[in-house]
Each structure stands twice: as C-alpha cells, then as structure tokens.
Amino acid sequence: MRSQKMHAASLFVTVFIFTAKAVASESECQQYCSQLTNPCIGFYNVESNCDKAASLCLQDCIGENQGPKFTNLLHQQPDSLARNIICSSDEYVNNNNQCAKVPDGCISWDNQDIWLCPDGKYCKNNQQWLCSAGEYQKSEASRYYCSDAASCKTVPAGCYQNLTGQITYYACDEGHYCPNVAQAPQKCPLGTYQTPLSKRYYCNEGSSCKSVPAGCYQNKEAQIDYNSCPDGHYCPSPSGSPIICPEGTYQTPLNKRYYCNEGSSCKSVPSGCYQNQPGETTYYACPEGHFCPTASGNPIICAAGTYQTPLSKRYYCNEGENCKSVPSGCYQNETGQANYYACPEGHYCDVASEAPKICPAGTYQTKLSSRYYCNEGESCKSVPYGCYQNESGRVDYYACPEGHYCAVASEAPKKCPAGTYQNPLSKRYYCSEGASCDPVPSGCYQTQEGTTTYYGCPEGYCCKDPSKPPALCPSGSTSYKSDYCSDHKTCYQPGYGDVGCPGHE
C-alpha cells in the first residue's frame, strides 16, 4: 500500500515537499523540543506523545543551541502507517517502507522522515555541520536536491562572508578590499582606492585595491576615487600625500593638466630662468647681471669680467643661461652688471677683463675719442722705432728731441755724444730718423754733446777725430783752406806730404 502512494525515488524527492499538515504551533513545538536530549536524531521511539510534533520540528541541537524552528520536510511517512520499523542512525524509511541510507545533503531527525539540510549547513551521513566563514550554503527555498547541500560552497575571491552558517555572501564594501573570503573587508590604504560597488560586476574586482595612478593622490583610507595632484606639488605613484615641488622646479597648473600622469613629477625650470620658491606653477626670467643654469633656485651673480644681456633684450629663458665674457678691449670691474666699459686711455683690456692693465713705457693706447669698437682697446700699440714714450699709461708718443737719439722706445732720449749730431726736428719726417745720431765726418768736428750740427776745421788745423777740438798743424805743415771736411783730416808739408794730425791718432 505504501509503495503505491509514495513511489518517488528517494534521491529525487522534490515532488514530495510537503507543507507540514496539522503542524504544531511554534510554541508547542518549542515546548516539546526543549524536552529532547542529544542525540536528537532517532528520537521517535522515545516513550512520549510528542512524537508527532517532533517530526515537524527542526532539531537543531547538534553543536549549536539555536532552539527549534520549522524546516523543509521532504518525505513524511503517512500518519496512518505504524511507525514500527526501526532503522539505524543514518537511515530513514523509504517509499517501499524499508530502511534506506539518508542521502548526503538531507537529514532525517527521526530515522523515519527526511528533511532538507538546514540553511547555512551541510549534511553528510545524516549529520549536520555549520558552514565555515568563507563558505555559504544556498537557502532551503532555492534547493531542490539533497545533493545541493552535500557540502558548503566557497565564497568567490573578492567577495566575503566572515560569519559561520550563512546562506549568502557579500560584495566587498566600497573603499575596501577582501583578500580573504573568510574575513571582514579591510580598508584600502593611503595611495589606493576601490572601484565603487555600482561599477563592479564580479566578485574578483574587490579582491585588491587599485593603486592611485602616478600624478594623482589619495590621502585618506577607504576611498573609492582619487584626486589630481595639487598646484605646485607632485605625486609619484602610488601617492598618499602630494610632495611640494622644490626650488628650481615647478608644476604645470591644474587647469592645464588633463591626465594624472602630468602631475607625476615637477618640471625643471629651463636654463636661463629661475624659481626660488617651493610649490610654484611658473618661473621667471633670470634678473639682470645674473645667470641661471637649468633648474635654478636662486640666480647666480655674474662675475667681474662678465655681464648679462639686459632683460629688455631677452626673449627666451635660455638667453639668461650664462653670463657673457666682456669682449676684449672693454672691461667690467663690478659683479652683477648688464653692460661693460671701453678700456680707459693708456690701458689695454684682454677678453673678460675685470681690470684694465696699464700700457708699459714704449707703448701707448689710442685715445677714447678715436676708438669705436671694444677691440680697439685690446692691446697697446708699440711706439715706432726712433720715437719714444718713457712713461706708462700714455695715449701718444714723441719724436726724439733735437740733439738726441732714441734707440729704445721705452727709455728717455739720450744726448748725441761728441763727434755726432742729430738733425733738427724740422728736417725729420719719420720717427726712425731719430733712432740714432749721425757721425760728424772726419775733418769736421763737434766737441759738445746733444747738438744738431758740426763745424768745419779752421785753416792750419786738422780734425781727424771729429769729437776732439781742432789740432794745430805742426810747423812747416798746414791744412787746406777748404769747405770740405775731408780736406782737414790731416796736415800736409810741402814736398813731404801727409804728416798726420797730432793728438788725434
């Protein structure tokens, strides 16, 4: 009889999910169930009129003390049948009225009827265990087969369930990550964020926090987004807090940045400009009299001998990168200047001159009024041979004076010695004519130093050595009466000839 009524295969019992009829009230059930002692299963043969109620209660007394509740009864023996078959502790009474093994995933509390394994648990060998944290069990309402609850399901990576005995799991919280499915979500640390829930589709999107991209930052925990690096700062990845740009660098202003990475580093101020404050978005032209190498914090003053192009003549930063050397023939004796000066009179100026150098004796410098370009003051001119300049620092030179010679341009003129003379200035056209004195021709004389002329030897005298005074010819001899010097080099005696010039040999 029974087999005709209840013929479904024991493993596929969905068609026999009964709503328990003549169910005891919950308080009735609780009252009955509280009398039970472990083990709960197999209690049907207890001498008690509570058998019927027991079959309708969930005996959740294994391991936990949750008290009774209703649960899904899968297969109930008809009331009319005598409960006289005693099955062992892992069996129930099947449709053929025989003992059969309780399938895994279901449970029999009384070894007669069979129930779905309760929520949050799994059932094996007619025993139940709580799902661990990191696991869950489908709710009874969504289970149809015993096998659905033969084990707990593992929570997928990136979601979590930190409690035991649960029927579901959760997406990792906003601003959090879930590296362990069995633990509560953890806050995303500084420099990271988590995609908002509304943009996540799969559990695994919550398994780690994202690093804030280089050039942006996040300085709070547990956030779902990040911020642009602020003006004057940079944000290397992954940034917790922005870092201020140091002097000599700057950051593009926020309104000119479109992507995070534009804020990942500060820019070096270009050569020739400077920024002497931290945390800035711009830079300035190097000031006058200064130079600014790449990434300049403070401008550096130009040294003496150098200068910087004035601001009004500079268009690009790099025009202020270096100081210029003062050109040769000009000078700059002060630091930090934007110009330079012509080398002064009587001086010369090498390239990059800090101080003019005086022209030495024997040289001179062109006057300022006749110089147009720096390089005209580059070096001193040599005094031409035969003229002189015996003082240093002069703008001109002199013809050698009358009666003098000037063999060394840097020395004072020297008197022509006796026996020599120098032409008067009026007869000289070139410096070189003053370089030496002319010898007085033999037969004429000049006994004075520093003269411009000489004298003829008188008749009766000889002047062989022109530097000595005329000598009287010995008696009986004479010199000619003549205007030619040569006629007075010696004395002559008639019929005898040349008798010499006494005292002149």
Ligand X SMILES: *[C@@H]1O[C@H](CO)[C@@H](O)[C@H](O)[C@H]1NC(C)=O
Binding site for ligand X (CB under 6 A): 162-163, 184-185, 333-334, 390-391, 412-413
Which residue lies nearest ligand X, judged by its C-beta? 184
- How far apart are alpha carbons 320 and 283 in whole angstroms? 13
Q: Of 17 and 412, which CB lies nearer to ligand X in the complex structure? A: 412
Q: Of 185 and 263, which CB lies nearer to ligand X in the complex structure? A: 185
Q: Of 86 and 355, which CB lies nearer to ligand X in the complex structure? A: 355
Q: Of 100 and 163, which CB lies nearer to ligand X in the complex structure? A: 163
User: 217: exposed, middle or buried (C-beta count within 10 Å: 0-12, 13-18, 19+)?
Assistant: buried
Our CA angle for 452, 458, 460, nearest 5°, is 155
DSSP SS3 for 204? helix
Q: In the 8-state DSSP scheme, what is residue 425?
A: G
Q: How far is the CB of 172 from ligand X (least distance, A)?
A: 9
Chain center to CA of 126: 70
Chain center to CA of 247: 11
What's phi and psi for 500, nearest 5 deg? 85, 180
- How far apart are alpha carbons 108 and 120 in whole angstroms? 17
Q: How far is the CB of 226 from ligand X (least distance, A)?
A: 24
Q: How far is the CB of 183 from ligand X (least distance, A)?
A: 7
Q: How far is the CB of 185 from ligand X (least distance, A)?
A: 6
- How far apart are alpha carbons 115 and 130 in whole angstroms? 16
Q: How far is the CB of 212 from ligand X (least distance, A)?
A: 24
Q: Of 413 and 443, which CB lies nearer to ligand X in the complex structure? A: 413
Q: How far is the CB of 222 from ligand X (least distance, A)?
A: 12
- How far apart are alpha carbons 153 and 435 in whole angstroms? 122
Q: Of 184 and 190, which CB lies nearer to ligand X in the complex structure? A: 184
Q: How far is the CB of 210 from ligand X (least distance, A)?
A: 20
Q: Of 98 and 183, which CB lies nearer to ligand X in the complex structure? A: 183
Q: Of 86 and 412, which CB lies nearer to ligand X in the complex structure? A: 412
Residue 169 CB neighbours (<10 A): 19
What's phi and psi for 141, nearest 5 deg? -60, -25
- In this structure, are residues 33 and 54 in contact, taking their beta carbons and an 8 Å threshold? yes
Q: How far is the CB of 100 from ligand X (least distance, A)?
A: 39
- How far apart are alpha carbons 216 and 288 in whole angstroms? 38
- How far apart are alpha carbons 270 and 433 in whole angstroms? 64
